[in-house]
């Protein structure tokens, strides 16, 4: 008899799109709140963004159970860091920790696609972008997840970051104001939602600047 059941898989793709944009003195991190499996929606109100430290947030898409395990691990590691050093971890430090944590599971990976947004030690916006096994890079803006193929080229077109090959190295932060960056993110998601079935329902935007952290929401198409 032929096989009737598909082989069991330890992975699922729960979809979702993440974007982060760094400015001179702010960082905007955003993700939609839809969680899907196959053609079904599991939840219309699931937050993909967590605050890892005072000046560091992570937006993650991919396999929700792996993402949750990753978030718990980073939170635990950050708690130990605070007990040992009596301070919050910086965003660049958290960036390295996230890379190491992902690579630690190189041969049974966390199926998660992350962007880390925050402020560096000079208070400048910083964005780190990852693949599932921990390759990472500091950039001025990035998009990850199911809608990234729609959003990334649009950001490239709008933000025209200086080539990383330029010498001396140029600052990767975007020239936009905070309000302009928030508007750009909203446009990105409104557009991605039109074509990507795994993006929609609601947009969660987290803005980090010298005044602290602030969250806002925008409704997206629910179909």
Partner 1 sequence: MESIQAKQGLVGPNDPIQRTQLPYVTGTSVVALKYKDGILMAADMGGSYGSTIRYKSVERIKPIGKHSLLGASGEISDFQELLRNLDELILYDNMWDDGNSLGPKELHSYLTRVMYNRRNKFDPLWNSLVLGGVKNGQKYLGMVSMIGVNFEDSHVATGFGNHLARPILRDEWHENLSYEDGVKLLEKCMRVLLYRDRSAVNKLQIAKITEEGTTISQPYALKTFWGFTAFQNPTAGAEGSW
List contacts with partner 1 (CB under 8 A).
Answer: 5, 7-12, 14, 35, 37, 40, 42-43, 45-46, 63-65, 68-69, 108
To the nearest 10°, the Cα dihedral for 29, 35, 36, 37? 110
The CA R_g of the chain, rounded to the nearest whole Å, is: 17
Residue 19 sits at φ, ψ, to 5 deg, of -140, 145
Whichever of 12 and 54 has its CB closer to partner 1, that residue is: 12
In angstroms, how far apart are the furthest CA atoms of the chain? Answer: 66
Whichever of 60 and 142 has its CB closer to partner 1, that residue is: 60
Whichever of 72 and 160 has its CB closer to partner 1, that residue is: 72
Smallest gap from residue 147 Cβ to partner 1 (A): 20
Closest CA to 140 of 51, 12, 23: 23
Whichever of 37 and 170 has its CB closer to partner 1, that residue is: 37
Smallest gap from residue 29 Cβ to partner 1 (A): 21
27: left (phi over 0), alpha (psi -120 to 50) or beta: beta
Whichever of 41 and 152 has its CB closer to partner 1, that residue is: 41
Smallest gap from residue 43 Cβ to partner 1 (A): 5
Whichever of 24 and 69 has its CB closer to partner 1, that residue is: 69
Smallest gap from residue 6 Cβ to partner 1 (A): 10
Smallest gap from residue 39 Cβ to partner 1 (A): 9
**Which residue, chain included where needed, has tokens 């446009």?**
187
Smallest gap from residue 64 Cβ to partner 1 (A): 5
Structure tokens at 200: 């929609």
Query: What are the Cα distances from residue 129, in Å, to 1, 123, 126, 143, 182?
Result: 47, 19, 10, 8, 19
């Amino acid at each position: 008899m032929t096989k009737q059941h598909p082989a069991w898989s330890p992975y699922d793709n729960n979809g979702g799109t993440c974007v982060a944009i760094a400015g001179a003195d702010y960082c905007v991190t955003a993700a939609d709140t839809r969680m899907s499996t196959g053609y079904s929606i599991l939840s219309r109100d699931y937050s993909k963004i967590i605050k890892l430290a005072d000046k560091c947030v992570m937006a993650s898409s991919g396999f929700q159970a792996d993402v949750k395990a990753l978030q718990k691990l980073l939170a635990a590691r950050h708690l130990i860091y605070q007990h040992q050093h009596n301070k919050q971890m910086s965003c660049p430090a958290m960036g390295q920790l996230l890379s190491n944590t992902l690579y630690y599971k190189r041969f049974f990976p966390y199926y998660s696609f992350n962007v880390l947004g925050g402020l560096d030690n000079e208070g400048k916006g910083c964005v780190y972008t990852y693949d599932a096994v921990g390759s990472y890079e500091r950039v001025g803006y990035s998009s990850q997840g199911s809608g990234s193929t729609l959003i990334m080229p649009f950001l490239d077109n709008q933000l025209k970051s200086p080539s990383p090959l330029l010498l001396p190295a140029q600052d990767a932060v975007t020239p936009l104001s905070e309000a302009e960056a928030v508007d750009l993110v909203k446009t990105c998601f409104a557009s991605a939602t039109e074509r990507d079935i795994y993006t929609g329902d609601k947009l969660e935007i987290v803005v980090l600047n010298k005044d602290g952290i602030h969250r806002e929401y925008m409704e997206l198409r629910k179909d």
